[in-house]
Amino acid sequence: MILSLLGLHKDAQLISIGLISEDNAEFYAEFTDVDISKQDDWIKKNVLENTIYYGNANVDNLVDRNNYYIGDKNIISKHLRQWLAQFDDVQLVSDVCHYDMVLFIDLFGTAFDLPKNVSASCRDINQDIADYYKIDESVAFDFSREQLLEEHNIFIDGEKHNSLYDAKVIKEIFDILRR
């Protein structure tokens, strides 16, 4: 299961969450309880603008509108729990997952409150990219994910830094690196 959340600092607020399964089932949600005034200019320009609720993203880009939600943390965590229930075992893959997992787990309370089918650990695609290219993880952090996909003639529709788009990119990279 590919996870994408946005915010790379200790006080990050969830703006959106995008997940995509190995069989391309999607979950996408945007949080209405974000304090916009606490967001820096980069987040406002690159993240908020690529959401539906706060910005200019088009809901038609979402493949499965039945799994698209807008609401506060409690509403989204309820829908997310229901969506995750369709899977026997969920192992999350993320890009820089040490941030994503803290925010993901917080949706449920604590790691002990995660749904029973969801692992409390996460695989970090950044480490896989470093191994694949035989580069340091710090170099891999700045390596363009889209460039990696282009090398394999894969192009993803959507807007960079929209969490569902990012989840699709991570899934494709994970698929490439598993081959």
pLDDT tens figures, 141-151: 999 999 999 99
Q: How would you classify residue 39: left for phi > 0, otherwise alpha for psi between -120 and 50, otherwise beta?
A: beta
Token couple for 41: 């200019």
Predicted local distance difference test score (pLDDT) of residue 4: 45
Question: Is the pLDDT score of 96 beyond 50?
Answer: yes
Question: In the chain, helix, strand, coil percent, each to 5?
Answer: 45, 15, 40
Q: Which residue range forms the structural domain that includes residue 87?
A: 2-178
Average of per-residue pLDDT across 2-25: 75
Among residues 148, 156, 138, 140, which one has the least CA distance to residue 177?
Answer: 148
Average of per-residue pLDDT across 43-52: 87
Tell me if 28 sits within 8 A of 62, measured CB to CB. yes
Q: State the CATH number of the domain containing residue 53.
A: 3.30.420.10
Looking at the structure of the chain, the number of domains it has is 1
CB-based contacts of 172: which residues, under 8 Å, 6+ apart?
149, 154, 156
Average of per-residue pLDDT across 10-39: 88
Predicted local distance difference test score (pLDDT) of residue 57: 75
Distance CA 17, CA 27 (A): 8
pLDDT digits (tens, 9 = 90+) for 60-82: 666 567 788 999 999 999 999 99
